[in-house]
Each structure stands twice: as structure tokens, then as C-alpha cells.
Amino acid sequence: MIEFRGGAPTRHRFAIIGFPWDFGASLGRPGARHGPEEIRRSAAWNLNRIRQDRVWDVEGGRIVDLSAVEISDRGDVPISAHDTEATFGRVQAQVAEALAEQQLPIVLGGDHSISLPPIRALAAVRERVGIVQLDAHLDLVDFDPRQGSFSQSSQIRRALELPQMDARRLIQVGLRGLNYPEMHDFCRAQGITQLTAAEALDAGAEAVAERCLTVAGADGAAIYLTLDIDALDPASAPGAGAHEHGGLTPRFVSALIRRLAPTVEAFDIAEVNPLFDVHGMTANLASKLIWDLILARV
């Protein structure tokens, strides 16, 4: 649907992988399973602005030649609702295949638990990984009797356990709201870098991007970028699994993604929830940010 082929050299290859999974939305709102469909619909609209393989990237201030770009939509990964590990395994295999074909995986969630298999896939082929997490929340729960260990609140905690990962290469941007006091101590002890939404907005996208590249990319690590749409303020992203006010702006996240895009090796966007969206504006925002990522790499 958003497929576009121009006969591309490797650097400009992208794989869209839908992961319509919201069984990890144990405390947030279910409905993110409809995210991939709506994000694709919104992203495809922009294809009509392409003329003879060229498009005007208005914010980037240039005409981009897309003849060297290949976007391959691998469709949605089949879900086995009763079997998290089997489903996650399929996603990991899809992402591994994309990486092997030198495509940048763009995984469309799904609740935020969807990040774990693509992070595993990247870790499997790289000696070290680092994570840039744009999120209102920490997602560092080890175990919760209601949520278990693989929910939308635990995927980053599970990722920290990978031998290729080190908590000192995790940077979380956009944090806010209230959280468990023991989490405060855990984050400090682990050496996780954290920027609240207010700190990030005050510092500006350029400075935050530098920080992300330094922290997540330390020791030559491959950078995984995950965007929980609730990193953005609910005024801009009402179709989200949970709302925390005082969030990042579309302009800030767009600038940050454009700055990080050339360096990241895999990307996901999670928690877009069409059941709570307003006139598709959150899916539209997600598709805009995906185009930002693509255009900034070309």
C-alpha cells in the first residue's frame, strides 16, 4: 500500500513491518492492533505528492530524489493471540530478514511491548546496541501480577537484559507524570539517562539529538529508536494507549527524528490507538514522523 520502488542502493532501503498486537496493553487501552492499518492509510496519502520519483520536502528545504529509495511493505506479521513467544518470534524473524537485506526496519505497533522482538533482532547481529526511547513512561517493570513480564510496561526492562545492551546506553526522552519510588532508585543505580519532556523541550531538539547519539551510540553501539506516541502531548496525539499531559510537540519530535535518522539502525512506533483517535490525527502524526525518518536518510 505504501510500497514505493525506485531501484535502490542499500542505504535507502526501508522495510515496513506491521505488528498489530495489543495483548501487552494490560493497563493501558487496547486498540493499538488497528495502528498499522491506519498509519499505512495515512502514510500512503503522501505518495500522490511524488512526481517522476521526486518530492518537495518542504521542511527539509529541498527536492528529494526518490529514485534511489525503496520502501518495501512486508505486511502484518500473523498474530497468535494465545502465544506471545511464538508471535514475537515471527516478528523477530521478519526484522532479521529486513536487516539481512539491508533494509531499515520500521515496525508499526501495536502496544509498546512490540519493541522487544525488533530489539532482539538487532542485538542478534550487532555486538552492542543502544536505545533511544521517546516515551512518557519508563517501561521498566520487571514483573507485575497483573501485567506479567512482557507487557507494554516491561519491554525496555527485558531489552536491558540482553548481553549486547547496557543500561548506560539507554536514553529516555519525554518522561513525565508519576511513577513508583523504587523505579527512581533502579534508574539511578543502572545509570540510565533520562530527560523529562520539559527538560527536552527546554534544551531543544538539536542538543537532545546530540545527547541521544552520545549516550545510545557509545562504544560504537547500533542505535535502536523507539517512539511511544504518548511521548507527544495528548493534544497532538489523542489516539494513544495512555495520556500524560505536558508532552513533547510534533515539531520537536520531527526535528529530533530527522537528526537521528541517518544513524539509527531500526525504528518502531508504538501505541497509536485508532479507537481513541480524533479524525485520524494521531495516525497522521505517526505517518508524518515516518516520512521525516525516510526523507532525512536520503
Residues lying near Mn ion in the complex (CB under 5 A) are found at 112, 135, 137, 139, 228
Q: Looking at residue 71, what DSSP letter applies?
A: E
In whole angstroms, the minimum distance from the beta carbon of 137 to Mn ion comes to 5
Residue 179: name the closest of 169, 168, 166, 192 by CA: 192
In the complex with Mn ion, the residue whose CB is nearer, 87 or 154, is 154
In whole angstroms, the minimum distance from the beta carbon of 158 to Mn ion comes to 13
In whole angstroms, the minimum distance from the beta carbon of 5 to Mn ion comes to 33
In the complex with Mn ion, the residue whose CB is nearer, 106 or 296, is 106
Q: Could you tell me where the DSSP H helices lie in 129-263?
A: 155-160, 181-190, 197-203, 205-216, 250-260
Q: Looking at residue 138, what DSSP letter applies?
A: -
Distances (CA, A) of 234 to 18, 54, 102, 248, 255: 23, 34, 35, 9, 19
In whole angstroms, the minimum distance from the beta carbon of 90 to Mn ion comes to 22
In the complex with Mn ion, the residue whose CB is nearer, 105 or 241, is 241
In the complex with Mn ion, the residue whose CB is nearer, 6 or 177, is 177
- The edge-to-edge listing of strands for the beta sheet with 104-108 is 4-5, 70-76, 13-18, 104-108, 266-270, 222-228, 129-134, 165-175, 193-196
In whole angstroms, the minimum distance from the beta carbon of 228 to Mn ion comes to 3
CB 271 within 8 A of CB 240: yes
In the complex with Mn ion, the residue whose CB is nearer, 76 or 135, is 135
In the complex with Mn ion, the residue whose CB is nearer, 154 or 254, is 154
In whole angstroms, the minimum distance from the beta carbon of 286 to Mn ion comes to 14
Secondary element (H or E) of residue 108? strand 104-108
In the complex with Mn ion, the residue whose CB is nearer, 33 or 112, is 112
In whole angstroms, the minimum distance from the beta carbon of 112 to Mn ion comes to 4
Q: In the structure grid, which three cell numbers stand for residue 141, read together?
A: 517493570
Local structure of 76: helix, strand or coil: strand
Q: Give the whole-angstrom CA distance, residue 267 versus residue 53.
A: 24
- Residue 59 has a CB neighbour count (10 Å cut-off) of 14
